[in-house]
Chain A
Amino acid sequence: MEKQNILLVDDDADLLKVMSEVITTLGYGAILASNGQEAVLQFEKHIPNLVFMDVKMPILDGFDAFFRIRSKFPNANIIMMTGFADHARWKEVKSACAIYLLEKPWPTEFLSELIRRHVTTKVSC
């Protein structure tokens, strides 16, 4: 079976580093992007099974990147990550079928379960 790929988007290089190591340890492939704009490009290039997208990023923030991806890919599985929840904007992306708002920091066991549940399902929005 082909490896399932996960796109990780965060402006903190160390977060990308450890998160990608965790994800490869868990048996998935990791694709990286360090802002919303790169995320859109990487998504179009690789069509990953799942996306973890930080909210606060330079150039293009996570919410805007979410909508750009969603407008082209109604089936994209996207989980938002945040240090501090902006509930107003979360409601916006949630109504556009974002899967989950993952608050930093998270226990890795929880991350693993979240991936297991959503890496193969397809949202339709």
Chain B
Amino acid sequence: MKKQTVKKHDNLINTEQEQIRKIATKNNNIEKINFLKTELEIAANQIQMQDAELETATNRIQVQDAEMEKSAKLSAIGLLSSQIAHDLRSPLAIIESALWLLRQNSLTEEQDDKLQVIGRAVNKMKSEIDRTLSFVRNTPLEIQTCLISNIIQSTLSNINLPKSIKVKTINCDVMIVCDPKKLEIVFTNLFNNAADAMSKSGDLIIEVIEDQNSNIIKVQNSGPTIPKDVLSKLFVPLFTTKQNGTGLGLSSCRNIITQHAGTITASSEPTVFTIEIPKNLASIVEKA
């Protein structure tokens, strides 16, 4: 009887041990599973990272593609526009000379009026050509000392701003060392853009601030605020929000001002384009 009990006891112990072993194996398995799970997670993370890298690489390729397309486009525009410029300037010379010949006779008021319209149209075409060419090729600066107000007046007389736009100049009787023809291209672009932005009516304010080392010219216009995403792209070649825009205006402006060893920046609320040109431009150019 006693033996039996012992045996029973032994059996019991055995089953217990068995159970412990089973539990141990189970624990071991759980550990393994946990381990595998972590491994799996790491692998998944790696795949995600590689995915992200792939995406960045794809994006980079897309950006490069877009840039290549743009530079191809730009050089095509360059070739085409210098060709067009040469071909248009001869006929313009013909029209201008013919206008001058007609003006040698006495004219009726009606004839004189129409000739003035033609003259203005010719001027507009000239400045369009200059604008495109100044973008395509940097011709050397022809430096002079002149009154900023004279350059502004000359610009205003060549472009036809709507009468409803009020032009105000503040402190513009300042002498500046610059290439006046090129600065006129800059003003033409800024004024035309301002007129486009204001559509019907508004204020165009041009202010000159004399700094110790530079002249600062601010061109401000009323009108809607420039959205943030547009503001960051203003000077990018070919960027335009206009149906008939070229997107070359402001990038030409920047080319020209950079040639003057200066800067041009834009800010919104209110819309202001700020040009800064060093006063010692002549000596900078001489050294170059």
A interface vs B, CB < 8 Å? 10, 12, 14-15, 18-19, 21-22, 25, 56, 82-85, 87, 103-108
Contact = CB atoms under 8 A, between A and B. Distances in A.
Contacts of B101: 18, 21-22, 25
B94 A83 contact: no
Among B88, B92, B97, B126, the most chain A Cβ lie within 10 Å of the Cβ of B97
A83 B140 contact: no
A18 B90 CA distance: 12
B207 interface: no
Interface of B: 82, 85-98, 100-101, 104, 122, 126, 133, 139-140
B86 A107 contact: no
Contact of B89 (A14, A19, A22, A84): A84
Contact of A83 (B85, B96, B97, B104): B85
Contacts of B90: 10, 12, 15, 83, 104
Contacts of A103: 89
B100 A83 contact: no
B182 to A, nearest CB: 13
Given A83-B89, A85-B139, A22 B97 contact: yes
B139 A107 contact: no
Given A22-B101, A83-B88, A84-B133, A108 B82 contact: no
